[in-house]
Amino acid sequence: MGNLGWGKKDKSPTDGFSDKEVGKTCVGCEAGQEPLSDMDLDGVIMGRKDGACAPLTKKNEALTRATIQGAKEQAFTSNSNCCKGKHPPDGVADKTIVYVNGIRTQQGGHCQTLQDVADTTCAKVIGVYNATRNSVADLWQAKQDKSWIKKHAADAEKDAPDEEPRMSPKGRNPAVDTLRDMIYAEASSDQEMEIFAHSQGGAITSVALYEAEKQLAGAGMEENMSKVSVTSMGSAAQQWPDGPEYTHLIHARDFTPVKLGLRKSAKKDASRAGKGAKVVRFVGEPGGGSFKEMEPGDDTGGTSFTKYHDVDQTYLKAQSQFNNGCRGKS
């Protein structure tokens, strides 16, 4: 099965970590050990270490505030003149973005997007890696993520504080576990957290937010969800919890958000996009020209699995254009 567009497929034969075949790396492994596969790194925090993309945590590692802070200090940054002009002298904005990728994304693709986000936003950028196994397994996992969104949304509507909160099984999706723990650790410490999420990464983020919200509510700190801001890009998530600050970017011809996520119509945004969310539906061609926000009467045409779904050529380009970012500027 080919790339269904729910992620970013490597275009080169190497993975961005080493000269080994795509999907394997010896970054962080001990002498004599086998190279780490994509699945070995499922759910780890990724960043830049010793000048190269590298895992900053181990799979299933229990996260602490110190671990998260250490990861932030090994983030991707931009050295573009555009960023230096906006944020002198070093070009780095005083914030960290956590990026969560979609399906069919190998290590090198994830790392490249971390740099792309840094070059677009001028922020420090680390990632929660959502590893790929194969198309069928990735799609099945994404379907499970969406099922858990539905369960959590139903729980939120019931508002039954005396019941034990339902949580997705630990290890079902390691990226959910990591992101949930990061959100809880940051929000419970009264720290702001910014997330960029693409495709299945949006569904992962929605599940993690619902579960972190339940944990914060149990600690009497539910209002701290307002410390979290999310930019979703072509997201597969059909619903989001209230509390965080949201911007949802949806290309009107991108199959994933139009058919699986918040849809093309804005009719249900108030109940599904998160309270106060900004939902930007837009049109335009990824290959050239510019995007514009969709207006009534725009002939958007049919959807495509892949053409309008690329995180860099469609969504980061649109995010930069709508926010006067530095993407594509030297």
Per-residue pLDDT tens over the stretch 116-154:
999 999 999 999 999 999 999 999 999 999 999 999 999
Identify which of 78, 108, 99 has the alpha carbon closest to the alpha carbon of residue 233: 99
Cα gap 255→261, rounded to integer Å:
9
Identify which of 16, 44, 22 has the alpha carbon closest to the alpha carbon of residue 104: 22
Range 206-223 average pLDDT? 97
- Give 262's Cβ-side CA count (13 Å radius): 31
pLDDT of residue 33: 53
Domain spans of the chain?
A: 45-322
pLDDT of residue 230: 98
Range 16-43 average pLDDT? 57
Identify which of 231, 244, 39, 11 has the alpha carbon closest to the alpha carbon of residue 141: 39
pLDDT of residue 58: 95
Cα gap 31→77, rounded to integer Å:
30
pLDDT of residue 289: 74
Statement: residue 1 has pLDDT above 80: no
Cα dihedral 268, 270, 276, 281, rounded to 10, equals 20
Q: Are 247 and 277 in contact (CB under 8 A)?
A: yes
Q: Which helix (H) or strand (E) holds 140?
A: helix 135-158
Cα gap 189→224, rounded to integer Å:
9
119-131 CB burial, b ≥16 within 10 A, e <16: bbbbbbbbbbbbb
Q: Which of 31-45, 49-63, 208-222, 285-299 has the lowest mean pLDDT?
A: 31-45
pTM given for the model: 0.90
Cα gap 260→203, rounded to integer Å:
10
In percent, the amount of the chain with pLDDT more than 70 equals: 88
Sheet holding 45-49, edge to edge: 52-55, 45-49, 124-128, 96-100, 193-198, 228-233, 245-251, 278-283, 292-293
53 exposure class (CB count in 10 Å sphere: 0-12, 13-18, 19+): buried
Structure tokens at 321: 């254009």
